[in-house]
Structure 1
Amino acid sequence: MEHNEPYGRVRAFGNQLIEVHIWLREELEQLREDVDAYLDGHGGLPRKLQAHCLTFCSAVHRHHTGEDGGAFLVLADQFPELRPVLEELKRDHNMVSWLLGNLQKLLSDLGPESDPASIRAELDGLSSLLETHFTYEERQLVSALNAVSRPDWDVSKPDFLLVPELD
C-alpha cells in the first residue's frame, strides 16, 4: 500500500512494531552468541559485551517506556477493550526491566571467575520472556496500531518505533 492512499501510513505502525521486535530479537540473539563465545573461551572482551548489552538494554527500555507512556495510552483511549491486555503488557515490561538489570550486573562483573550457568540462565529467562511478550503483543496490538490515527506519528516516529541502527 502506498503512503498516499487513505490510511496508508497509519497502517504501517503495527508493521513497524513487528520490525522493531525483529531487530530486538536479532540483537538479543547476537548478544547471546557473543556471551556464549566469551564463556567458551572464543570471544571478545567483556567490555565489548557490556557495551552491546547496554545498547540492547537501552533500546528495550526506550521501546517499553514509549509504549507505556505513549502508544498504550493512545490504544487505551481508542480501543478501551484492550485495556486489560495493555495492563498485562505493562507488567511484562516491569519484569523485563528487572531481568535486564540482572543481566547488566552479571555482564558488568564478567570475568574468568564468572559462573557461565547463571549468565546463560539469565539470558534464557530474558529470551523466553521477551519472545512470549513480543508474540503476544503482536497478536493483540498490530491490528489496533494499524487502525490508529495519529498524524503526529506520521511526522515523527514515536519512541516505541525507533531502532538505533535504522533511525
Structure 2
Amino acid sequence: MTEGEKIRLVAWSRELRSVHERLRNALLIAQEAAASGEPPGRDLLLFCHGFCAALTGHHEGEDRELFPAIAAEHPELRDTLRKLEQDHSMIGHLIGGLQLAVDSSAGTDELARHLEGIAAIMESHFRYEERQLLSVLETLELDADPGRVLGPL
C-alpha cells in the first residue's frame, strides 16, 4: 500500500468527524438565532432550512453509500448500522416537525424547542456513530466522492 492509499483510507474517519463538526456548528447558529428572542426573520428561517438540508443530505449519503460499504466489509456491524439507520429515520421525523414549524411561521420559542430536540438526538447519534465506526472507517476501502457519501457540506 502506498502512502497516498493509506492517507485516503484514514481520511474517511477524518471526513466523518469534520462533517459532524460542521453540522454541530450549523445547528448552533440556528439555535442562537432562535434564542435571540426576535421574531423569526429571514436569517433564522435560512439557518433552519440550511441545517435541515445539510443534516438530511448527510444521513441520506450514509444510508445510500457508506453503510452498505461498511456492511459488505464488516457484516458483524449490520445490527449497529440498522440502529444508526433507525436514528436517521427518527431525526428525519424531527426535522419534518421543524420544517412544518418553519413553514407555518412558528414563533422562536417553538422553533427553539424543535432545535433542542434535534440537538439531543443528533448528538447522541453522532457520538454512538463515532464510537462504533471511526476505527472501521480508518481501514474502509471506498473509492467515492466524500460529498456523495457524507453529504454536500
Shared fold (TM-score, shorter chain, > 0.5)? yes
Name the SS for the 2:3 alignment partner: coil
Matches of 1:162 and 1:149, distance apart in 2 = 18
1:157, distance to aligned residue in structure 2 (A): 2.1
Which sits farther off after the overlay, 3-12 or 13-22?
3-12
Equivalent runs, 1:63-142 vs 2, <5 Å = 63-110=58-105, 114=107, 116=109, 118-142=110-134
1:17 maps onto 2:16 in alignment: yes
**Secondary structure in 1 matching 2:7:** coil
Judge conservation of contact 1:46–1:107 (CA < 8 Å) in 2: no
The CA RMSD over aligned residues, in Å, is 1.9
Residues in 2 aligned to 1:115 and 1:10: alpha-carbon distance in whole angstroms? 43
Match of 2:150 in 1: 161
> 2:137 maps to what in 1?
145
Larger Rg: 1
TM-score in terms of structure 1 length: 0.83
Find the aligned partners of 1:99 and 1:124 in 2 and give their Cα distance.
10
* Aligned amino acid, residue 109 of structure 1: S
How far 1:122 sits from its partner (Å)? 1.5
Name the amino acid aligned to 2:61. Answer: G
Kindly state the Cα deviation for residue 134 of structure 1 after the two structures are TM-superposed. 0.3
1:53 corresponds to = 48
Q: In structure 2, the residue corresponding to 1:148 is in which secondary structure?
A: coil
Which ranges in structure 1 are unaligned for 5 or more consecutive residues?
none
Structure 1 residue 120: deviation in Å? 2.5
Question: Deviation above 4 Å: which 4+ runs of structure 1?
Answer: none
Alignment of 1:1-40 (within 5 A): 4-37=3-36, 40=37
Counterpart amino acid of 1:67? E
Question: Matched residues in 1 for 2:43 and 2:71: separation?
Answer: 40
* Structure with more helix by fraction: 2
TM value normalised by structure 2? 0.90
Give the deviation of 1:87 after TM superposition.
0.1
